[in-house]
Amino acid sequence: MNNSLEKIVNLCKRRGFVFPSSDMYGGFESCYDYGFLGTLLGNNIKQSWWKNMTQYRDDIVGIDASILMSPRVWEASGHLTAGFSDALVECKKCHHRFRKDYLKENKCPDCGGELTKEKKFNLMMKTFIGPIENDVATTFLRGETCQGIYMNYRAMKDAMRLKIPFGIAQIGKAFRNEITPRYFIFKTREFEQMEMQYFVSPNKTEKKKWFEYWKKERQNWYSNLGLKKENLRFREHSSKELAHYAQRAVDIEYKFPWGWDEIEGIHDRGDWDLSNHSKHSGQDLTYIDTETKKKFIPHIIETSAGVARSFLAFMVDAYTEIEGGRTTTTESNKEKETVLRLHHNLAPVKIAVLPLSKKDSLKKITKEIYHNLRKYWIVQYDEASSIGRRYRRQDEIGTPYCLTVDFDSIEDKKVTVRDRDTMKQERINISDLINFFREKLE
Ligand code: GAP
């Protein structure tokens, strides 16, 4: 495993961000569980996306559709045919299986054995509804969340009186029977997507305008949350690479430890989805423009992001090691320090509240401050070990502020607030803390 990816994986496990699933049984098929800090980080990513896509906009609404849908959805969408398949080859000697397009040579990368001819392997995950496992009971765990949006397009348009251009957003789990899951949480068989489908007129100029608009919007979302601009780029798909539904596709790529790779796709899906669902279901999905009286099947510009891929990109970008440590005013330190410079909105814990000593008189006032602050933010109380060690523990999980209560605090009713990145310390009145942090964190 790449060295710096290994460091992130270790930090994730050691500090309770991400654990291998079913670890007691040796793990399971590249599945992962999120611990408390990982869940908080994931929730912050999703909340930021949701606010940007729905709360701050007049033209987008959100939904939460069922993971299980009629298998007819997947027939109509083209996911059960070659379009949603990868080319699979198997080693005749060790029987390991690989995606053909990932291999540089025609020999098994694990044992050098001869490979079989490629065959198409469908990525949809099969399951059965009810007690009888037969063809009639077969359905699929959704392979992309957006199909749930198309199922609700007409009902949402009517119920919410939506006028083109408008969008429907959704966050939820998707499943793909990937042949080669890899790079920790980057490519797994169960993952979460944050997808928005923007319904526009089929007019070419109009479509191009929205495509460019959404490219920029989505790139800005990542850089506004702290991803360094030099680590982000767009990559246009060649016509050969295009997914079965896409007329045009641009990936937003991040420079991961193993190289540039996709974190989000912006797709022009044309009228592929709505036309096919209309044809297969017999339902009329035409849109009537009330001003021009024109009738058409809307075209779709899609933004499709992965929660785990954003998570990993934010972690990689924020991870900093300082050999020999940073000079602190409280303690000399020669150890290597790790600072996770996560954006304030993403940091799992916002404030750590630390009494300088475990003496009862200090603990009482510190606990009062802690209980007051945690009404508003995720706050951690920590009294174990030296103040320098406690700072470093918080730096490592990306906590933007540490608040220290010392013996002077009892007299002057002030505490010391330390900034994670600058290590600047300020004395703040206890009565001003809520306003102080509101300004800093919101
Ligand atoms: N609805 C369009 C769609 O699903 P995609 O390019 O296949 O498009 C979109 O996937 C995003 O979903 C990707 O950019 C990635 O962030 C995430 N994603 C896809 N497959 C994934 C997997 N196996 N593991 C983790 N994330 C995945």
In DSSP notation, 153-204 reads: HHHHHHHTT--SSEEEEEEEEEE---SS-BTTTTB-SEEEEEEEEEEE-S-H
pLDDT attached to residue 2 = 59
Q: Which of 49, 241, 242, 262 to mutate to test ligand 1, by most ligand atoms within 8 A of the CB atom?
A: 262
Q: Ligand 1, closest atom to CA 267?
A: 2
Question: Among positive and negative, which fits the CA dihedral 28, 19, 304, 150?
Answer: positive
Alpha carbon of 306 to ligand 1 centroid (Å): 6
Enter the tokens of residue 56. 């701050």
The alpha carbon of residue 150 and the mean position of all alpha carbons in its chain are separated, in whole angstroms, by: 22
Give the chain's residues under pLDDT 50: 329
Question: Ligand 1, closest atom to CA 192?
Answer: 26
The residue whose CA has the least distance to atom 15 of ligand 1 is 306
Task: Name the residue with the closest Cα to ligand 1, atom 20.
Answer: 187
Q: Is 400 in the pocket of ligand 1 (CB under 6 A)?
A: no
Q: Dihedral (C-alpha) 70, 75, 79, 80: value to the nearest 10 degrees?
A: 100
User: Is ligand 1 within 6 A of the CB of residue 192?
Assistant: no
| 176 pocket-lining for ligand 1 (C-beta < 6 Å) | yes
Quote the ligand 1 centre to 334 CA distance (angstroms): 43
Distance CA 3, CA 312 (A): 15
Quote the Cα angle for 313-348-332, to 5°.
90
| CA 16 centroid distance within chain | 17
Question: How far is CA 274 from its chain centroid?
Answer: 27
Residue 33 CB neighbour total at 10 angstroms: 12
Q: Which residue's alpha carbon is nearest to atom 14 within ligand 1?
A: 264
Residue among 173, 197, 199, 161 nearest 66 (CA): 173
Please choose from 191, 198, 236, 269 the residue to mutate so as to test ligand 1's pocket, defined by most ligand atoms within 8 A of CB. Answer: 191
Contact 366, 354 (CB under 8 A): yes
Q: Which atom of ligand 1 is nearest to the CA of 251?
A: 14
Ligand 1 in reach of 178 Cβ (< 6 A): yes
The residue nearest atom 21 of ligand 1, judged by CA position, is 187
The dihedral region occupied by 205, where left means phi > 0, alpha psi between -120 and 50, and beta the remainder, is alpha
**Maximum Cα interatomic distance, the chain, rounded to a whole number of Å:** 79
**Ligand 1 neighbourhood includes 45 CB (under 6 angstroms):** no
**Whether residue 307 has its Cβ less than 6 Å from ligand 1:** no
The residue whose CA is least distant from atom 4 of ligand 1 is 144
Q: Please state at what angle helix 36-50 crosses helix 307-318, rounded to 10 degrees.
A: 110
Judged by DSSP in three states, 63 sits in strand
Ligand 1 within 6 A of CB of 149? no
Q: How far is the CA of 153 from the centre of ligand 1 (A)?
A: 21
pLDDT score, position 439? 97
> 44: Cβ below 6 Å to ligand 1?
no
Q: How far is the CA of 24 from the centre of ligand 1 (A)?
A: 29
Question: Is there an atom of ligand 1 within 6 Å of 394 CB?
Answer: no
- What confidence score (pLDDT) does residue 102 get? 86
Q: Is 195 in the pocket of ligand 1 (CB under 6 A)?
A: yes
Closest atom of ligand 1 to CA, residue 262 = 14
| Joined tokens for residue 280 | 């297969």
Cis ω before 131 (30° cut-off from 0)? no
DSSP label at 144?
A: S
The per-type count for the chain, helices as H runs and strands as E runs, is 12, 23
| pLDDT computed for residue 333 by the predictor | 56
Pocket of ligand 1 contains residue 191 by CB under 6 Å: yes
Ligand 1 mean position to 183 CA, how many Å? 14
Return the number of other C-beta atoms located less than 10 Å from residue 220's C-beta.
12
Query: Ligand 1 centroid vs 182 CA: distance in angstroms?
Result: 13
User: Going by CA atoms, what residue is nearest to atom 13 of ligand 1?
Assistant: 264
pTM score: 0.95
Using the atom order of ligand 1, give the atom closest to the CA of residue 143.
Answer: 4
CB 264 within 8 A of CB 218: yes
Nearest CA to 203 among 303, 287, 147?
287
Tell the residue nearest (CA) to atom 1 of ligand 1. 144
- Separation CA 38–CA 16 (nearest Å): 7
Three-point CA angle 256, 257, 261, nearest 5° = 30
Mark 371-409 as b/e (b = at least 16 C-beta within 10 Å): eebeeebbbbbbeeeebbebbbbbbbbbbbbbbbbbeeb
Q: What integer pLDDT is reported at residue 134 of this predicted model?
A: 84
Looking at 231-344, list the stretches that DSSP marks H as alpha helix, in order from N- to C-terminal side: 272-281, 307-318
What six digits make up the tokens of 283?
């339902």
